[in-house]
Structure 1
Amino acid sequence: MSDALTLLQQRHSAPSRQLGTPAPDAATLRALLEASIRVPDHGKLEPFRLIELRGDDKLRFGERLTERAIRRDPHLPESKREKERMRYTFAPLVIVVVARLNAEAGIPEIEQKLCAGNVAYNILLGAYALGFGAQWLTGWAAYDPEVAQLLGLASNECVIGFVHLGTPQAEIPDRDRPVLNTLLSQWKAPA
């Protein structure tokens, strides 16, 4: 079997809380991201962009999310407030994958979002291939208009996911995977 298929068969996400230093260095990250943006792109729209969260800015981002979470639910328990505050601090690097939707292009919005989703998946796959760990998370913050504003998103943009990157700090057991025979069928022309 080819190395590429073996990579696909072994890839798994590493929980963000179990990701530590190091993250990819600048040259490795650039190469990873350049490879990750090579995705199917109907219409060559480039309907995506990336935002890096690093260092103390990850904590500041979490603090702003906590403020927003409290506005959404003033009775939010202290434990959940702390969880929101710390959510982006475990992995040394978080890449926000953003979809940039072009309504005038004539390309369905779902295809543009899938294109951006492929960028997020390529980051996961590429990180694993390079020996790093990664996890693609969304959560309420990915869909909240105030968080979009905090990230500086335009009205035609939305968060596809927060990809946490770093080095796994523990062995990550694989999870149960789908069984192909339960998912694959063959279409036959009606008689």
Structure 2
Amino acid sequence: MYDNISLRDYLATRRSVPAFQMCEPGPDKVEIESILKLAVRVPDHGKIAPWRFIVYRGNKRVEIGEALLALALEKKPELDEEMIKVERSRFTRAPVVIGVISTAGPHPKVPEWEQVMSAGAVCLNLLMAANAHGYVANWLSEWFAFDERAFPLLGVKPGEKVAGFIHMGSTTFPIVERPRPELQDVVSWVGDED
């Protein structure tokens, strides 16, 4: 997808693809390990790696979808057929989903906020590493990232938080641009003018 372009050109065109627009093939185990090796190259004050990964592949994604659907129906028994389908497919829309789990916590030298930001940096690196391997990707959280009832079935331990679920695969859809912020709306300048 992004072969043989400069980093500047890549960043100028980087775009997430909606998970529901993804299809096979997805990265295999060797490619996933290569993607993860790139992903961990983020700012990490104290070298404490305040995050970990859970890779969801194969039929286990179907089981997780059924379990998430059961949890969703407990909360909203009136879900219509379309939403039942959505809940059931949360982990099967893309061939591979990687959970980025924040293990941030009190530390004598590293503020917890810096640890949380490091987990966010890992999520972005995963998107870019997937693209570098020729795959499309999307960073999602969704309701179950914040519902501790779902944590045991997702492999999230007590005290951990979900930084995001990175969906990876291929697509047959055209990749279209979306509106981006205007710099004057998000930039403040302090200091001498050029």
Q: Distance in 1 between matches of 2:143 and 2:126?
A: 22
Letter in 2 for 1:43: G
- State the 1:18 CA deviation: 1.2
Aligned counterpart for 2:114 among listed residues 111, 122, 125:
111
Q: Deviations over 1:82-111 (max 9, x none)?
A: 210012212110001100123244422222
Aligned counterpart for 2:184 among listed residues 160, 173, 181:
181
RMSD, matched Cα? 1.7
Please report the TM-score for the alignment, with normalisation by the length of structure 2. Answer: 0.90
Q: Secondary structure at the match of 2:174?
A: coil
Asked if the contact 1:148–1:158 (Cα under 8 Å) also holds between the matched residues in 2, the reply is no
Q: Distance in 2 between matches of 1:82 and 1:25?
A: 26
> Structure 2: 5+ residue runs without aligned partners?
none
- State the 1:63 CA deviation: 0.6
Q: Distance in 2 between matches of 1:158 and 1:83?
A: 23
Letter in 2 for 1:95: I
Q: Distance in 2 between matches of 1:129 and 1:179?
A: 27
- Matched ranges for 1:40-189 at <5 A: 40-188=43-191
Q: Secondary structure at the match of 2:99?
A: strand
Q: Distance in 1 between matches of 2:114 and 2:102?
A: 11
| 1:16 matched to 2:31 | no
Asked if the contact 1:7–1:129 (Cα under 8 Å) also holds between the matched residues in 2, the reply is no
Identical counterparts, % of pairs: 37
> Structure 1: 5+ residue runs without aligned partners?
none
Letter in 2 for 1:151: L
Please report the TM-score for the alignment, with normalisation by the length of structure 1. Answer: 0.91
Q: Secondary structure at the match of 1:38?
A: coil
- State the 1:7 CA deviation: 0.9
Q: Distance in 2 between matches of 1:152 and 1:54?
A: 13
